[in-house]
Each structure stands twice: as C-alpha cells, then as structure tokens.
C-alpha cells in the first residue's frame, strides 16, 4: 500500500465512576504509604502505539478505530478509548 507511515496512538482508560483497583493500589501503596498524601487519585490505562501506512492521517486513525471496535480491544461500557495520530519521522 502506498502512503505515509503514521503512528496512531490508542489510549484505553476506565470511565469515570468505574472502580480502578490497580490505580487504587498504586495510590495507596506507592504514594500514600511513602508520605505522598497529596496524590488524590491514580487511574491506570493502556497506551497502544500502532504504525499504519495510509494516505492521510484521517485514514490511519479510521483503520485503527475500526480494528479497535471490531476486535473488541476495549469494553465501551467500562472504558473510554481515544485515538489520535502523529507523523512518524
């Protein structure tokens, strides 16, 4: 396929209101237990970096968006999914 190489980033995080046990543990045991009580909350998510060859940034994002939806890489009821791209040098 012809085109430019785009780095598409996918951020998957728990929705507000959804409990995040991993984030709670990090806040409790790493921050609060070490005297860093000013940290209010920690949320843990995933960041995927996907290299895509596409004719445009919009096409690259759409390819990854479709893959995320079709392959169920996240649960829309429990997670937010943000997708954006940058030009790969």
- Identify the band that residue 88 occupies on the pLDDT scale cut at 50, 70 and 90: low
CA–CA distance from 28 to each of 14, 25, 45, 49, 61 (Å)?
A: 18, 5, 17, 29, 36
Q: Which CATH entry fits the domain spanning 4-87: 3.10.20.30, 1.10.940.10, 3.30.1280.10, 3.40.630.30?
A: 3.30.1280.10
Average pLDDT, the chain: 92
pLDDT in tens, 28-71: 988 888 888 788 899 999 999 999 999 999 999 999 999 999 99
So where are the chain's domains? Answer: 4-87
The yes-or-no verdict on residue 89 having pLDDT over 60 is no
pTM of the predicted model as reported, rounded to 2 decimal places: 0.83
DSSP string, 12-45: EEEPTTS--HHHHHIIIIIIITTT-TT-------
Edge-to-edge strand order for the sheet containing 46-54? Answer: 46-54, 4-14, 79-87
| Closest listed residue to residue 8, CA positions, set 87, 77, 85 | 85
């Amino acid at each position: 396929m012809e085109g430019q190489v785009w780095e598409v980033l996918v951020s998957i995080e728990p929705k507000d209101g959804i409990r995040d046990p991993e984030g709670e543990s990090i806040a409790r045991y790493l921050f609060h237990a070490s005297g860093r009580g000013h940290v209010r909350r920690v949320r843990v998510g995933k960041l995927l970096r996907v290299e895509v060859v596409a004719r445009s940034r919009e096409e690259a994002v759409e390819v990854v968006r479709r893959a995320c939806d079709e392959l169920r890489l996240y649960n829309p009821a429990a997670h937010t999914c943000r997708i954006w791209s940058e030009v790969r040098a």
